[in-house]
Structure 1
Amino acid sequence: MAETKFPPPKSAATATVGPNGGATTPFPPNKAQLYNATRPKYHPQPPPRRRRSCCCRCCLWTTFIITTVLLLATLAGVIFYVMFRPQKPNFTISNLHTSQFNITSTTIISKFNLTISTRNPNAKLTYYYDPISVFISSNDVGISNGLFPSFVHGTKNTTFLKTVLSSSGQTVESTTLTALKTEIKNKKSLPLKIQLETKVKAKIGSVKTKKVTIRVICEGVQFTPPAGKSAATVKTSGVKCKVDPRIKILAWTF
């Protein structure tokens, strides 16, 4: 009996023989497998812009609000100036004479009588002054000090302020006293600077402003010390007094 031959399987894989001599199912051909072959390709994404856009909007709104406030304040200042034409008060030394002046080895003993005239040139502004501190110095050395009382300065009004100034009795360095004595000996006089400092507020109709510190500086006074115990009048003609408002913003004073 002729042996029947079977054609080989179509697959390239080779069949294996089982333990009982029977053929087993061949393994499928091996296929190369890629790691994460089905994973989509990574595309980098731009960072989110939401936070940045919020910051930009905040900056723009802040800038807009600050600009608007500054414009409104400027407009209000212009309107106020056009309506009221505010002017600073004027200060003038009317009279200054001394009845005592002596330089000892450690201190300066002095006594001055000072009269200041101040004028309010405004027709609609009334000034309210706190007590006014007065200092007299020569070459940055304190000579005498005193105080003017508080007062109300009406519109288009001239007021005369009088006070007595005296030395505080503080000890002064010997080199400073020697320099003052030398200047008196050589020039027969001393340059004096008179400084006033106070706080003032203005009233316009029924509205009052906040208090502003002002400083008045009068320079150009030539003082000749009296001989002995006789009083001496100080020449103040031609002396100019400058009014300097001290406006404080945060930590800066202008």
Structure 2
Amino acid sequence: MSDRVFPSSKPAANGNGTVSAAAPPPVKPPLRPPYRPQPHARRHHRPRRSYRCCCCFWTILVILILALLAAIAATALYVLYRPHRPEFSVPSLRLHRLNLTSSADSSTNHVATLLNFTVTSKNPNSHITFYYDPFVISALSSSDVFLGNGTVPGFFSDKKNQTFLKNVVVSGSIDLDTDSVKSLKSDLKKKNGVSLKIKLDTKVKVKVGKLSSKKVGIRVTCEGFRAALPKGKTPSVATVDKSKCKVDLRIKIWKFTF
């Protein structure tokens, strides 16, 4: 009868006679779920941007509509009333005094002037009236050397009306610098007489029917006058046949006038 050998359940001993325990099976780490980046919270700016764009659009649209209405109204007024600028002229001018004196060392230069003239204001419009503030008048040489000033009271210019302002006096007693003296001496040496220029500054309000505008600054520049130097107390009569006057708007924005 054959013998059966059964394996021993006891741990085997090593060479030193000690018994080593069997190593436990390795423990697997728990499985982690795959990393998924979390989406960042987005700030919703679309409603605000849409609101701003909508406001800008309507603002621009309203401005364009108002500009269109203003242009239509201006065109209608122009077609109905045919507005024209007022017309000015200087039919007569007399030079009573124009004396230039200098000290021995030319350190002091002085000019004394006196002249008078007549101003004519004409309103060529049939439906427009003008209301003028007082005028500030300046007399200058052809080289823009200031010679004197004066004033004219304001007046009302009715439709198709002509106003005469007579005996307007301009005078001055002024100290001049070196450059102004040179320019004025050059003007005084001309054989055909000294050239003079007149400037009138004021503000005007325009009325069309029941509509009235705000006051707007204007400047009237009249030039082309020539006068010989007066002799004694007899004034010199200037030639005015080539004189012309032009009217320009004087618009003031902040500190600047255009």
Q: TM range, normalised to the smaller chain?
A: 0.7 to 0.9
Task: Say yes or no: does 1:110 pair with 2:113.
Answer: yes
Distance 1:156 1:108, change over 3 A: same
Are 2:37 and 1:41 equivalent residues in the alignment?
yes
8 Å CA contact retained: 2:145, 2:183: no
Query: Which residue of the partner structure matches residue 125 of structure 2?
Result: 122
Match for 1:206 among 185, 198, 210?
210
Q: What SS is found at the alignment partner of 1:59?
A: helix
Tell me by how many angstroms 1:194 deviates.
0.9
CA drift of 1:225 comes to 1.5
* Secondary structure, counterpart of 2:175 in structure 1: coil
Question: Which range moved further: 103-112 or 243-252?
Answer: 243-252
Unaligned runs of 5+ in 1: 7-25
Map residues 157-168 of structure 1 onto 2, 5 A cutoff. Answer: 157-162=161-166, 163-167=168-172
Amino acid aligned to 1:214: I
Distance 2:256 2:138 in 1: 24
Amino acid at match of 1:40: R
Work out whether residues 95 and 227 of structure 2, in 8 Å CA contact, stay in contact via their aligned partners in 1: no
> Using the alignment, how far apart are the partners of 2:192 and 2:79 within structure 1?
50
1:56 alignment partner in structure 2: 53
Q: How far has the Cα of 1:120 moved from its partner? A: 0.3
Listed one character per residue, the Cα deviations across residues 81-140 of structure 1 (whole Å, up to 9, x for unaligned) are 122211110001111002222111222111111101110011111111000111110111
User: CA separation in 2, counterparts of 1:113 and 1:61?
Assistant: 59
Q: CA deviation at 1:65?
A: 1.7
Equivalences for residues 82-121 of structure 1 within 5 A:
82-105=79-102, 106-121=109-124
Residue 229 of structure 1 and its aligned partner are, at CA, apart by: 2.7
Shift in Å, 1:232 = 0.7
1:229 maps to which of 208, 214, 233: 233
Residue 133 of structure 1 corresponds to 136
Q: What is aligned with 2:27?
A: 29
CA shift at 1:173, angstroms?
Answer: 1.4
Q: How far off its partner does 1:253 sit?
A: 4.3
Counterpart residue identity of residue 88, structure 2: F
Contact 2:87 2:122 in 1 (8 A): yes
* CA distance, structure 1, for counterparts of residue 87 and residue 148 of structure 2: 23
AA of the residue aligned to 1:239: S
Where 2:95 maps in the other structure, the secondary structure is strand
Larger displacement relative to structure 2 (188-197 or 89-98): 188-197
Q: Secondary structure at the match of 1:107?
A: strand
Cα distance change of structure 1 residues 213 and 27 upon mapping to structure 2, 3 Å threshold: farther
Residue of structure 1 equivalent to 2:21: none
Distance 1:110 1:250, change over 3 A: closer
Post-superposition Cα deviations, 1:21-72, rounded to whole Å, max 9, x if no partner, equal: xxxxx899323544xx365334567763423222222221221121111111
- One-letter code of the match for 2:169? V
Q: RMSD between aligned alpha carbons?
A: 2.9
**Partner AA of 2:171 in structure 1:** S
Q: Relative to 1, partners in 2 of residues 1:71 and 1:27: Cα closer, same or farther, differing over 3 Å? A: farther
- Aligned residue type for 1:135: S
Q: Which amino acid aligns with 2:63?
A: I
- TM-score, normalised by the number of residues in structure 1: 0.81
Q: Shift in Å at residue 219 of structure 1?
A: 1.9
Contact 2:219 2:249 in 1 (8 A): yes
TM-score, normalising length: structure 2: 0.80
* Displacement after TM superposition at 1:176 (Å): 2.3
Q: Deviations over 1:141-187 (max 9, x none)?
A: 111211111111111001011211101x2311144224322432244
1:191 maps to a residue whose letter is S
